[in-house]
Chains A and B, each alone.
Chain A
């Protein structure tokens, strides 16, 4: 099946710094990727839809300037948490739809745990 790689798996940063998270589709192309945020013991909350070659589409209530998304190639989307603060600490997950007969299935990265001190 399709594989989505997410890096890093865990990052600790100081308050006020920026952190970049990468999401790669390893064996398929993804014109669209999705970024989620998950709080402990809660469900996944969609933050934004990443579109290759164009601007991301953000969900209501998500700060565009805080969470910068870039989808510069068909296999890579990045999420940058700018000027991170402790309240940004969370688990971030990306996903991409498969291709062909699995195009209706979302494949997920392993997630990134962000801890802001």
Chain B
């Protein structure tokens, strides 16, 4: 079974600085998707960024980028120029490309942004 591990329960960063959140996963599949979702205090899940496993190029969305290392099964999220609004729980998630569309989530990392 696929598993997703986030080894950092909590992280903090100073406003305007850069922070990296770690995620590793375990799968025997070669075709899959990886996601980072953000859950602010409102608890609304918001997609931050996604990565298709077949793409070698790392995904980027404005201040958010990933470091996808397929062989190492690592998928870290880098947040640049951190803002107060980035404070939230961040969940890494995996989805197999075929079959069921269900997501497997990590346990999450709570990010605090200090002014």
Contact = CB atoms under 8 A, between A and B. Distances in A.
Interface of A: 32, 34, 38, 41-44, 46, 49, 91, 93, 95, 97, 104-108, 110-111
Interface residues of B, number: 23
Given A43-B108, A44-B91, A108 B103 contact: no
Interface string B101-115: 111011110100000
B106 A110 contact: no
Contact of A104 (B33, B42, B100, B102): B33
Cβ-closest 9 pairs across A and B: A108-B45, A43-B107, A43-B105, A97-B101, A110-B44, A111-B43, A44-B105, A43-B108, A104-B33
A7 to B, nearest CB: 14
10 contacts: A34-B102, A42-B107, A43-B91, A43-B106, A43-B108, A46-B102, A95-B103, A104-B95, A104-B101, A106-B95
A108 B37 CA distance: 10
Contacts of B50: 104-105
Nearest to B101: A97
B47 A105 contact: yes
Contact of A108 (B44, B52, B102): B44
B25 to A, nearest CB: 14
Given A43-B91, A95-B45, A106-B101, 16 more contacts: A41-B110, A44-B91, A46-B103, A49-B102, A95-B103, A97-B101, A104-B52, A104-B95, A104-B101, A105-B35, A106-B95, A106-B103, A107-B47, A108-B45, A110-B43, A111-B43
A54 to B, nearest CB: 14
Interface in B20-35: 33, 35
